[in-house]
Amino acid sequence: MYILPSNYWALVTQEKLASLLDFNPSYSHYWSADSRDALFGAQFNSPSFQFTGLSVCHPIYNKQTMTLSLRHAIYSAILSAEETATFMFVPSWNGSMITNPHSSLLTAHPHLCYKLGAITAY
């Protein structure tokens, strides 16, 4: 598990799809996939909330979850009246985004989706 350092994401105030064990407590809000985390301040079911403002999202590495999370982030940005940016971490298996199911969403919205970087697997 890894907590993203808050000084690295200076303007981010929300974390989507975190868990009780890996959320960054310096963010004002975090959403969890587990309803039991509400006891510890988590919001539940992030797709039921429009993504707004600046947030980071690290979905579990499940094709359906990653695709739904990315789609929700894109449509939230399209529909939001306020500035919205969601920094999302998704894997690039086999070295190419072309083979991933969520890649069609990235290529369909080039004015909204930007690849900021990649970590190469050895």
Query: Hey, what long-range contacts does 116-119 have (CB within 8 A, 24 or more apart)?
Result: 116/87, 118/92
Mean per-residue pLDDT, 37-48: 80
Stated pTM of the model: 0.76
SS3 12: coil
Task: Name the band, by pLDDT with cuts 50, 70 and 90, for residue 1.
Answer: very low
Q: Which of 65, 29, 56, 59 is nearest to 44 (CA)?
A: 29
Mean per-residue pLDDT, 27-32: 81
Q: What Cα–Cα distance (Å) separates residue 50 from each residue in 54, 75, 90, 93, 116? A: 12, 8, 20, 28, 23
pLDDT at 9: 57
